[in-house]
């Protein structure tokens, strides 16, 4: 015997070393199984959306923007949206998750399913279109921003609020801190416009804070194109008054 391993054994050893190195490198930087750890239930104020997108809407309540896993985007582009699979909840979708730009089109739901739903589907509890959209509607009703804000006398009007008013109303109702986003004024402006509110849940759909972690790979779908001298949507400024625009006649 010359002490050398047979060629077949050498190939096995080399493969084992490469595989182990690759596993250690990947597991050091990813969540186990590469799955998301939280969902962001995102609701937006239609009047603010239409200020940014130059549309008109008479919705007088917060509507769903999406249900977003904190990791992954377009996880399965071959899994195409099929409206017939959610036919029984379409009336509810049209009412609470409308496409504000094209009300009669399923384009918005198609986009949300492709970008976010196929990633949420990595969890068994959300592994179909019906489960995904149905759970989003369920959470929307459970965490009813419209009622919470109204109960705290925060209503669409020409008056201004502090960010603390809005934040405290939601935090006291749910016990966790939301992420609140506004359209910020242009140079010299002094008022920000309330636009979007995110409430977060864990994999068991229990409330958790929305603080962004290093794992988070999602990004807002809200338009960020400046309009009328205003900036795009981003986290609200605590030092600036908040305008909650009423429905335009």
Catalytic-role residue among 44, 112, 129, 167: 112
Establish if 25 belongs to a structural domain.
no
pTM of the complete model beyond 0.75: yes
Catalytic-role residue among 65, 129, 167, 198: 65
How many structural domains is the chain composed of? 1
Distance from C-alpha of 134 to C-alpha of 126, rounded to nearest angstrom: 9
- C-beta of residue 68 within 8 angstroms of C-beta of residue 212: no
Residue 116 among the catalytic residues:
yes
DSSP run (H or E) holding 170: helix 163-174
Domain ranges, residue 151: 36-243
In terms of phi and psi (left: phi > 0; alpha: psi -120 to 50; beta: otherwise), the region of 240 is: beta
Establish if 113 belongs to a structural domain.
yes
Q: What confidence score (pLDDT) does residue 215 get?
A: 53
Establish if 74 belongs to a structural domain.
yes
User: Residue 200's domain is classified under what CATH number?
Assistant: 3.90.730.10
**Assigned token pair, 120:** 């949420």
Residue 80 among the catalytic residues:
no
42 phi, psi to nearest 5 deg: -115, 125
Establish if 183 belongs to a structural domain.
yes
Establish if 12 belongs to a structural domain.
no
Q: What confidence score (pLDDT) does residue 188 get?
A: 74
Establish if 103 belongs to a structural domain.
yes
Q: What confidence score (pLDDT) does residue 249 get?
A: 67
Establish if 23 belongs to a structural domain.
no
In terms of phi and psi (left: phi > 0; alpha: psi -120 to 50; beta: otherwise), the region of 72 is: left
Neighbours of 197 (CB within 10 A): 25
What is the residue-level pLDDT of the chain in tens, covering all 249 positions?
444 444 444 443 333 333 333 333 333 333 445 689 999 999 999 999 999 999 999 999 999 999 999 999 999 999 999 999 999 999 999 999 999 999 889 999 999 999 999 999 999 999 999 999 999 999 999 999 999 999 999 999 999 999 999 999 999 999 999 999 999 997 778 999 999 999 999 999 999 999 865 455 544 554 443 334 445 789 999 999 999 999 986
Catalytic-role residue among 116, 129, 184, 198: 116
Residue 54 among the catalytic residues:
no
Distance from C-alpha of 107 to C-alpha of 97, rounded to nearest angstrom: 12
Q: What confidence score (pLDDT) does residue 148 get?
A: 97
Q: What confidence score (pLDDT) does residue 216 get?
A: 55
Establish if 230 belongs to a structural domain.
yes
């Amino acid at each position: 015997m010359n002490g050398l391993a047979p060629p077949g054994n050498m190939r096995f050893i080399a493969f084992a070393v490469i595989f182990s190195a690759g596993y250690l490198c990947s597991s050091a930087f990813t969540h186990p199984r590469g799955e998301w750890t939280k969902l962001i239930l995102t609701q937006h104020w239609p009047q603010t959306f239409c200020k940014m997108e130059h549309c008109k809407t008479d919705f007088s309540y917060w509507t769903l923007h999406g249900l977003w896993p904190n990791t992954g985007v377009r996880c399965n582009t071959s899994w195409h949206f099929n409206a017939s699979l959610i036919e029984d909840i379409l009336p509810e979708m049209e009412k609470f998750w409308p496409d504000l730009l094209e009300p009669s089109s399923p384009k918005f739901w198609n986009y949300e399913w492709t970008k976010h739903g196929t990633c949420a589907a990595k969890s068994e509890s959300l592994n179909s279109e019906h489960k995904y959209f149905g759970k989003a509607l369920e959470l929307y009703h459970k965490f009813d921003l419209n009622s919470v804000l109204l109960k705290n006398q925060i209503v669409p009007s020409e008056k201004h609020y502090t960010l603390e008013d809005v934040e405290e109303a939601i935090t006291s109702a749910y016990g966790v801190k939301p992420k609140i986003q506004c359209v910020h004024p242009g140079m010299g402006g002094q008022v920000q416009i309330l636009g979007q509110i995110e409430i977060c849940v864990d994999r068991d759909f229990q409330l958790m804070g929305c603080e962004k972690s290093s794992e988070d790979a999602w990004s807002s779908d809200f338009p960020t194109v400046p309009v009328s001298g205003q900036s795009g949507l981003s986290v609200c400024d605590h030092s600036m008054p908040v305008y909650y625009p009423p429905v335009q006649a």
